[in-house]
Amino acid sequence: MSTDSPLSPSEAAGTAAEAGAGATARFLAARTASATSSQERVAQLAGRAIRALNDVILEEKVTYDEYNALKSWLITVGETGEWPLFLDVWLEHSIEEVANEDRHGSKGTIEGPYYVPDSPIQKSPATLSMRDDEPGTPLLFQGQVTDVEGTPMEGARVEIWQADDLGFYSQFAPGLPEWNLRGTVIADDTGHFEINTVQPAPYQIPTDGACGQLIKAAGWHAWRPAHLHLKVSAPGHQLITTQLYFPGDPHNADDIASAVKPELMLDLADRKDGQGRVTTYDFRLDPEA
């Protein structure tokens, strides 16, 4: 829609409260059954986590002022809906490492807080839904989905979601069309896919909320390097949730979410027709367990 300016002030003014509340609402909507852990498992995990925090308090001689600052901060994280942001930035990478340690196919990495299921389905070759005047360098993202032996996965699904050229995600920042830069692309009968999109910008986790407060107080930075998010799947195979990164991004080496892996680095070239850039990335799916 050409009425949506690519640089609308409302988009540029997206806040932690909006992103955080959106991420919390999305998580609650997708939540299915509650945890089924045994009493032993709960006691083990909660017991160890509480002991680990007590160790920090005793070893660092944490004061009442610091304890009250922690209480106040934790309350704010909840009030601003930033628990999904906090958890996905600082803990999800370890969860993902455990979840995917037995895979032999493509590497996964964190999902993050901004996945939305059921994005519009298109057959390859596809162009992601975007504004007429979508800013950013055009990118042709192509590849093939196979199993771990290299057998093509006919009709594989490649779900993609990404930030725009300002680092904003549709449905979590105001002023963007609902499915902007989100889509589900069905590979052809040889497992190949072609997706036309634009290069995402590096993403800064919201700095005006509780997570931003912590980052500032600790003197850290809030950046994730530019990335494409993907979920790739085919019948009889394990879905892989991953991200792909762009060489040369200043934050590839110090991603605040610790989600970059060398295997997830794209190899980009200029397109021969001068229309932006092209990159090829193949996915190998593990068989269902």
Contacts with ligand DHB by CB under 6 A lie at 85, 88-89, 110, 112-114, 203, 205, 224, 257
CB-wise, 89 or 145, nearer to ligand DHB? 89
Query: 195 with 128: CB under 8 angstroms?
Result: yes
* Residues in CB range of 13: below 8 A, 6 or more apart: 174
Q: How near is the Cβ of 59 to Fe ion at its closest, in Å?
A: 34
HSE-up (13 A, CA, CB side) for residue 36: 2
CB of 183 to ligand DHB, least distance (A): 17
**Residue 205 interacting partner from ligand DHB, Fe ion, none (CB closer than 5 to 8 Å by kind):** ligand DHB
Q: Which two tokens stand for residue 139?
A: 């990118």
**Which of Fe ion, ligand DHB, none does 113 bind, CB closer than 5 to 8 A by kind?**
ligand DHB
Rg (CA), the chain: 20
CB of 278 to Fe ion, least distance (A): 22
Q: Identify the CA nearest to 257 among candidates 80, 112, 101.
A: 112
Q: How far is the CB of 227 from ligand DHB (least distance, A)?
A: 6
Q: Which of ligand DHB, Fe ion, none does residue 143 bind to, with CB < 5 to 8 Å depending on kind?
A: none
148 vs 239, which CB is nearer to Fe ion? 239
Nearer to Fe ion, 112 or 209 (CB): 112
Pairing of strands 203-204, 192-198: unpaired
Rounded to the nearest whole angstrom, what is the least distance from the CB of residue 116 to Fe ion in the complex? 12
CB of 107 to ligand DHB, least distance (A): 15
| Spatial separation of the C-alpha atoms in residues 135 and 198, rounded to whole Å | 8
Which is nearer to ligand DHB, 93 or 103 (by Cβ)? 93
- Report CA dihedral (195, 196, 198, 200) to the nearest 10 degrees: 0
**Contact partner, 88, from ligand DHB, Fe ion, none, Cβ < 5-8 Å per class:** ligand DHB
Specify the residue, 262 or 274, whose C-beta has the smaller distance to ligand DHB: 262
Residue nearest to Fe ion (CB): 112
Question: For Fe ion, which is the closer residue by CB, 204 or 238?
Answer: 204
Nearer to ligand DHB, 88 or 194 (CB): 88
Least Cβ distance, residue 201 to Fe ion (angstroms) = 11
Burial profile 233-257: b = 16 or more Cβ within 10 angstroms, e = fewer: bbeebbebbbbbbbeebebbeebbb
Unique residue bearing structure tokens 């040889």: 190
At CA 281, angle to CA 280 and CA 285, rounded to 5?
A: 150
Residue 89 binds which entry of Fe ion, ligand DHB, none, with Cβ cut-offs from 5 to 8 Å by kind? ligand DHB
CB 276 within 8 A of CB 94: no
Which among ligand DHB, Fe ion, none contacts residue 130 (Cβ within 5 to 8 A by kind)? none
Taking CA atoms, 105 is separated from 159, 166, 187, 213, in Å, by 18, 32, 18, 39
Chain positions contacting Fe ion, by CB under 5 A:
112
Q: Give me the residue whose beta carbon is nearest to ligand DHB.
A: 112
